[in-house]
Amino acid sequence: MEASREFVYQKFTEYYQDPSTLIPATTMPEQREFAYLMFKERFMVRHRRFAEFKNLRSALAETVPSDVYHSCAYYENPDFDMDKKGWLGADLVFDIDADHIPTNCDKIHDEFTCTKCGFSCRGIIPETCPACEATKFEAKTWPCELCIQSARDETAKLLDMLENDFGFSQDDLHVYFSGHRGYHVHIENEAVRSLDAMARKEIVDYVTGLGLGILDKEPEEKRGKSVASKKFSLHNFGWNRRLKLGMQNFLLNATKEDLKKAGIRNNALLKNRETIIKRCINEGRWESINDVSVQTWLKLAEYIRDSQSSKIDTVVTTDIHRLIRMNGTLHGKTGLKKVEFPAKNLQTFDPFTGAVAFKKGTTKVLVSDAPEFRLGGETLGPYKNQTVELPVAAAVMLICKRRAVVAN
Ligand SMILES: [Zn+2]
Ligand SMILES: [Zn+2]
């Protein structure tokens, strides 16, 4: 193995072998499938069962995987083949990853190379290669602060719905930084365990605002006719309340530009904002302003729905056999750890200090290309083709991100 990978492997080994490393116990480990990606061989070991958590700890110290996962599901026989495992239930999990969220940074820090034709470009990874239409890429990504903030905002909307609309308590909501550029929310509450894939899809639809009665009806052309006779109304619970508050907020602050973004041409909404808010939103007399039609309200409500929905990775939540990264273990793409923090600290928890696993020592690396970044309380970079002595955590991250090699 080349020196740089060997260096990272060494650090991962120290982490998993250090008895003072805190790895919180997984709930009911004996009923979970554990899986891990082998550091050197790069294959996934699946269907492992650990009757006791301490056995898992020793297995990690011995094998030193690059990534560790466990099933959200509980099984009678977690070490059997999938069809013989005997599914007993599963946690309800949500994954919010900057990869799936449009951001202001436009992901210019990411770079992808087509594995078929070698076409390479910066920015968001496309579905298919612009040069040859192949679909496999080598990606170089970066956990940038804007990306993480956007994931944090989406997580905040999700937590708000889980608490206020679904009625989970803060204690039910286990919130984690994923170790890369996103967040996970796990609910282990008994009430969710038996939900099947269909029921989970319903929850996904709610969170993403899909199929809201008031908005998703007949197609546009039909709507034109029926809409004149239709009344617009919103009640005070769940999404209706969310739309109302969002619309009120929008009206208070909107500029002409914002209207345009919402696809609304008519500027009537900006005149007499106070009257409109009072009569239409507060008193529910939506048709009391001549220049503001039901269509306009629908358009605005759609826009608010899109901004208030949470951009979760929908596949993760509906998959009742899903493997998810284990709390307290290292992410192979960053060397940061997945770490839990209280839901109420979402805005204040700083992954670039709180998820740092390697806190001692420095090492010399040759950095090809890195933007300015913050890690472990220090601001580092930008670097371009230069040898620098870095804290171990930063060196590990740059090597994992394939932006540096060990120097000498
Ligand atoms: Zn290509
Ligand atoms: Zn970014």
* Ligand with the closest atom to the CA of 149: 2
What separation in Å is there between the alpha carbon of 253 and the centre of ligand 2?
A: 26
Least confident of 32-41, 131-140, 315-324: 131-140
User: What is the CA(393)–ligand 1 centre distance, in A?
Assistant: 34
Ligand nearest to the CA of 135: 1
Ligand 1 center to 119 CA (angstroms): 5
Q: Average pLDDT in the 285-305 region?
A: 92
Tell me, in angstroms, the distance from the centre of ligand 2 to residue 114's CA: 21
The model's pLDDT over 358-399, given as tens digits with 9 standing for 90+, comes to: 999 999 999 999 999 999 999 999 999 999 999 999 999 999
Q: How far is the CA of 112 from the centre of ligand 1 (A)?
A: 10
Cis before 382 (ω within 30): yes
**Other Cβ atoms closer than 10 A to 44:** 13
Domains, the chain, ranges and CATH?
A: 3-98+145-203+314-356 (3.90.920.10), 110-140 (no CATH), 220-308 (1.10.8), 358-408 (3.40.5)
Closest ligand to C-alpha of residue 117 is 1
Distance CA 108, CA 97 (A): 16
Lowest pLDDT segment from 103-112, 180-189, 315-324:
103-112
The ligand that comes nearest to the alpha carbon of residue 113 is 1
Q: Pull the structure tokens for residue 397.
A: 């991250």
Dump pLDDT digits (tens) for 172-219.
999 999 999 999 999 999 999 999 999 999 999 999 999 988 776 555
Residue 228 reports pLDDT greater than 60 = no
pLDDT at residue 10 greater than cutoff 80: yes
111 CA distance to ligand 2 centroid (A)? Answer: 12
Tokens of 71: 């099933």
